[in-house]
Amino acid sequence: MEGHADTPEAMEDLGRNAAAQVAPGSVIALVGGLGAGKTHWTKGFVAGLGSPVEVTSPTFGLVHEYAGGRMPVFHMDFYRLESAEELISLGWDEYLEIPGVVIAEWADKFPGMLPAGTVWLGFTMEEGGSRTVRHLLSE
């Protein structure tokens, strides 16, 4: 799931490759600043599962559901959430019970809400505009 990307397409390739490594019930926490590549990685991930759906940032919708691949993906963005109660009101617990993959951007806002076994990925922007994805933690 780790790697270095010089273009948005290369970041999507990293996500596409990661899709081959997941099982239903996986939770992936994405951490990194604005423009670090989280949504591009997710685009590749969803495509890697075989879904033809166009992936966009869920910053304003908060949750996007992508079907049509070998399992559904529930793409969430915690950026605009103010409390864990707001996350619960979005159906967080129910999404965790569905045999798909939950991807949470800005997951570090509510780390206590993520289950054991969550894969944590850190996204950073390097000098010159390239981006790096690093595995941070997995319980």
Domains, the chain, in order of start with CATH, read 3-103+116-138 (3.40.50.300)
Supply the angle between the helices 8-19 and 38-48 in degrees, to the nearest 10: 50
Side-chain half-sphere of 53: how many Cα atoms within 13 Å?
A: 20
Confidence of residue 2 (pLDDT cuts 50, 70, 90): confident
Could you report the per-residue pLDDT of 74-95, keeping only the tens digit for each? Answer: 999 998 899 999 999 989 999 9
* Amino acid (1-letter code) at residue 109: K
pTM, two decimals, is 0.92
Pairing of strands 27-32, 3-5: unpaired
**Per-residue confidence (pLDDT) for residue 121, from 0 to 100:** 96
Return the number of other C-beta atoms located less than 10 Å from residue 18's C-beta.
22
* Residues in Cβ contact with 118 at an 8 Å cutoff, skipping those fewer than 6 apart: 27, 28, 29, 107, 138, 139
